Structure formats: structure tokens, C-alpha cells
Amino acid sequence: MSRFPAARNMVKRSLVDAICCHRVSEGKEQYLLRWKHDEPSQAILSWHDLEDLGSIADFLQIYVGNYVTSLKSGNSSLGVPVQVTSLKRKSPHDEGSTSRASSQDTTTSTSSISAQKLEVYNGILQRKAGDIYPVHPACPSPRMPRIDATTVPTPEMLAAAKAHLADGVKKARRFVRRQFLDQLLRIPGPPVTFVNDRNKETPSLSFTCIQDYVYGEGVSSADAVMLGCTKCRPDMGSDRGCEYTRRCDCLEYATPDFKSQGLSKEEQKAHYEAWQAGELDAAELPKRFPYRLDNDQRTGIKQYVLDGFYLESRNVLYECNPKCKCGPKCKNRLVQKGRTVPLEIFKTQQRGFGLRCPVNLRRGQYIDRYLGELITDHEADAREAFSGRDKASYLFWLDKFANDDGPPGSLRTNDCYVADGEKMGGPTRFINHSCDPNCRLFTVSYNKHDQKIYDLAFFALEDIPAGTELTFDYMDPEEGEAGQAVHEEMDEGTVAVDCLCGAKNCRGKLWM
């Protein structure tokens, strides 16, 4: 439950065109909105208190940032008004009608309109069902004159805004911060907190926290062909479910552990290649469950962590699924149960925002998933082209099982899906790069027959003390196999940026 008071009626996001200016009136910060209209010059303009702007807090944040930047640079104007409609990609999370409001959109009688009327320049606003929206007058009147909305903000408005300097947006900054903290409170599981003791900056509000992948256009799962293990039982392994690797059907495609057979490295390689070629009976090969029970002697805490065979080799983790007979308490279900550790987003010294854990992490301990909107390879290319090469990318290709040189029917890279975490995702979006990382990303599959959709999960590579920044290697080729959109060689037009990780083995450059 939110620790902030419930918001009052808010402006209807889909009908707002721009934030034009601000002022301080009777000690209150107010912001001038321009509403959508087929003819921009005839658009309604209206002043609003901060409490009205919760639905467009992300654009308020951009407006405030632009204003503060203009003050620091000594500009004499606020610049171009912040357009609400052009700063965010359309996504499944953009809800609400985009139709223009009119007097026919409400059942409020004419006699009651005046009671609900707000202060406006050239129109009437109404409150209904939690929304504030305009009613365009059929004809002008002396009390409601025609104003060319494209001439706003006027020089007088800009001068009034400048007169208050940074104090004119001080409350807006706190309002934006509250909106972000409120969003963090809605994330399920242990708390996700935020700390910034360096400046007043808040992470972008143009980001939606989600609990699972959001499927974009053209993306579908293979749940219809999901199969579970049939020979395992909930009471096996001291009531921990799956106990024998050869009986667990979910491990059918898991990488064999040839090292446990005492083979030389050359023999292990030969057996591995024979297994990949399908020349060995998978049912008879030695397998390992992904997780082992760890007993921390210092704290006495027992928990499942990633087995060293997987942590060091980057093999795919196959977990059991809802159709398995092993029961929900099976030891082969870890990532799917969700995050179990608290996380903290914080402002770093020189790399923007980062992520850390306020409690100690054990080597192999699961941290959280990387989430985002699942899109097609074609859509990912289009978004990259739209954003430009010099912009940070949050695209992770789910190409772990791709084989462009394989026989007909093999999964090709351009048929793989991509997780885009720029506009929606989870706390791991804030994990920074390091050439000497303490975390790594792993492929976690719950359906051995679905090679296109799987989870990307972060695990600790070492014991990580509480408060240490969490990092992973953006340019690790193996990370690329696990899903990250990276290239081992520079493409034409690729921008090289300085790496700021500070590690002793820092490569100096980070390719984007």
C-alpha cells in the first residue's frame, strides 16, 4: 500500500499536448498545459497545481530538467515546450482514449458545468471519473476569448517564470521524487529503495516497472507444448522434489557433466562434441541440477545457490515448471519464485545511477531477472535506428539457442526475440558495466521445447559485501550468448566511449 496520499483528479494524459510554462501563484507551483486540438492555434490552455499532474509526471520531470539546465546555461528563455505526445514510444502500457474531448463526452448538465469550471484562458475544464479534461466552446464569448495557443508561452510568462529562478520548480522536483518512490513501493517482494546523496536528480519516470515480460506485436510463447517431469514426486529428496537427474525429464537437454567422470580435457571435449552432434544417448549421460544447498557457517543461513558447474561454465539452467509432478517446493525451482533480496538504486559518482544490495550476497546467489518488452528482431533494428548509435542500448537478444549455420529448421538469429528494457522492466535495468564484474547473466528455461522465450537471471559471481555496487560485463561474448545485444567486432558507425568502471583490468573503451 502506498505511503503517499491518494491523488485527486488528474489531467487526462491522452488529451494533453504540451507543458508550456510555469509560475508561482499564492505560494503554489502551477504549470500551463496546452490541450490537444485539430487546429493547434485553437487549443485550450489551462494552469494546474502539481497534484493535477501525476498522470504526466514523466513529462513534468523533463520540463523541470530542461528549465534547470537553461538556468545553468544562462539562457533567457525556457525553450520549446515539452510535447507530451512525442517523447514516449507507443507501447501496450499507454492506455486511454486518444479522442478529442467535447461537450458530448460527458453527462454533466450545462447548469453544473460552471460549478466544476477551473481557471482557464479560453475554455472550460471538467472533472469526471478521476480525469480532468477540456470542453471546447462552440463559440467565443467576452469571458472566453479566442487565443492563438501557438504564441504561448508569451514573453511575459517566461519573465514571470524566470523571476522565481530555481525556486519555481523546487516543489516539482520533490513531487517527481515522490512519484518515483511510489512506483518502487509497488514492486513485489523485498523492498527496492532509492538513495541520492549527491544531487537532486531522480531516475526517469518514463519507465514502467513490470513483473514479467510484456509481449510486443508478433511475439508468442510455446506454452502449448510445455511438458513437465513425470517420474519425480514432491516427497522425494527429503520433500525437496526432484532428486535423481536421470529421472527428471526437465534436464533432458541440460549440458552433461563429463568432468565428473574423471575424463581428461581432450576426452571431455570429444564427448561434448559427440553430445552436441546427437551421437550419445542423452538419457544415460551424467547431469547436474542447477542449484545446490549452501550453508553459510557465519550466519547459519541455508539457501540454494547456483552450482559451480553452471556458474563457471555458463550452461543453460533448466528449471521445473507448473506441469511437473515434483511439486512447487522442488529444489529445481528458484528463479521462477522471484527475487528474495532487497535492492537499492543509488546515484554513483560518475556513472549515473547504479544498483546495490543492502545485505551480503553469497557466491552463486540469485539476485533478480532482467525484464522488458519482448519484441521481434525487426522491431529491435527499427528502434536502434530510431535511437541512434550514440544512445545507451537496453536491448538483449534472446539468441542463446540460435544456430545460423545449423541444418534447416534450426533457430536463426533474425527469428529470435529481443528484450527491450528501456521503457519497461525491473531494478536490474540500473546495473552498470565493469570489466571485472561481480555478477553474471544466465539463461533460465522453464520449457525445454521453447528456444525463443526464456528468462535472463543475474547471479553473484563471488561473495558480495552489503552496499557493494552490482556490475556485469556488457561486452562479455558469453553475455551475448545469454542474450545481450553486443558485437565482438566494431560495426561501421559504432561509437567508442570511455569505460569508467575503474577496475584494475579495465579495457579502457566500451563499445556501443
The count of other CB atoms within 10 Å of the CB of residue 103 is: 14
Helix or strand run (H / E) with residue 112: helix 110-116
Using DSSP bridges, classify how beta strands 432-433 and 10-11 pair: parallel, antiparallel or unpaired: unpaired
What's the sign of the alpha-carbon dihedral 190, 328, 446, 91? Answer: negative
Write out the DSSP string of 338-360.
---S-EEEEE-SSSSEEEE-SS-
User: Is the separation of the CB atoms in 77 and 69 below 8 Å?
Assistant: no
Q: Looking at this protein, which amino acid is placed at residue 409?
A: G
Catalytic residue among 133, 304, 366, 474: 474
Q: Classify each residue of 110-134 as buried b or exposed e, where b means 16 or more C-beta atoms within 10 Å of its C-beta.
A: eeeeeeeeeebebbbbbbeeebbbb
Bridge partners of residue 374, in order along the sequence = 215, 419
Which residue of the set 31, 133, 291, 370 is catalytic? 370
> Rounded CA gap, 19 and 176, in Å?
15
pLDDT for the residue 481: 35
What pLDDT, on a 0 to 100 scale, did the predictor assign at position 313?
A: 85
Return the C-alpha cell found at 485.
545485444
For 115, residues 6+ apart whose C-beta sits below 8 A from its C-beta are: none
Name which of 20, 41, 34 is nearest 154 in CA terms: 20
Helices in 242-376 by DSSP H: which ranges?
265-276, 308-313
DSSP secondary structure string for all residues of 30-79? EEEEEE--SSGGG--EEEEEGGGGGGGHHHHHHHHHHHHHHHHHT-SS--
pLDDT recorded at residue 3: 38
Using CA atoms, how far apart are residues 343 and 358, in angstroms rounded to an integer? Answer: 6
What is the reported pLDDT for 493? Answer: 52
Q: Are 31 and 48 in contact (CB under 8 A)?
A: yes
244 catalytic? Reply is no
Task: Locate 174 and state its grid cell.
Answer: 520533490
Phi then psi for residue 175, to 5 deg, are -60, -45
Grid cell for residue 423: 521503457
Instruction: For the chain, count helices (H), then strands (E).
Output: 9, 26
| 385: enclosing H helix or E strand | helix 377-387
Half-sphere exposure of 179 (CA within 13 A, CB side): 27
Spatial separation of the C-alpha atoms in residues 49 and 172, rounded to whole Å: 10
Task: Name the residue ranges covered by the structural domains of the chain.
Answer: 10-186, 214-248+289-487
* pLDDT at 224 (0 to 100): 73
Residue 103 to residues 61, 110, 124, 135, Cα–Cα distance (Å): 31, 9, 10, 5
* CATH number given to 214-248+289-487: 2.170.270.10
Strand 455-460 with 366-369, pairing = antiparallel
- Cα dihedral 280, 284, 286, 288 in deg (nearest 10): 110
Is 474 catalytic? The answer is: yes
pLDDT tens for the 512 residues of the chain, in order: 333 344 578 999 999 999 999 988 888 889 999 999 999 888 999 999 999 999 999 999 999 988 888 877 766 555 557 777 543 333 333 333 333 332 223 333 333 333 334 446 678 889 888 999 988 766 656 666 677 888 888 888 888 887 766 667 889 999 999 999 999 999 999 999 999 999 989 999 999 999 999 999 999 987 778 999 999 999 998 899 999 999 999 999 999 999 888 888 898 889 888 988 888 887 789 999 999 999 988 888 899 999 999 999 889 999 999 999 999 999 999 999 999 999 999 999 988 999 999 999 999 999 999 999 999 999 999 998 887 655 567 899 999 999 998 888 899 999 999 999 999 999 999 999 999 999 999 999 999 999 999 999 999 999 999 999 999 998 765 544 333 333 334 444 555 678 888 888 888 877 54
Beta bridge partners of 509: 498
CB 48 within 8 A of CB 29: no
Distance CA 203, CA 453 (A): 29
Maximum distance among all Cα pairs of the chain, rounded to whole angstroms: 94
Do 217 and 99 touch, CB atoms closer than 8 A? no
What is the reported pTM? 0.84
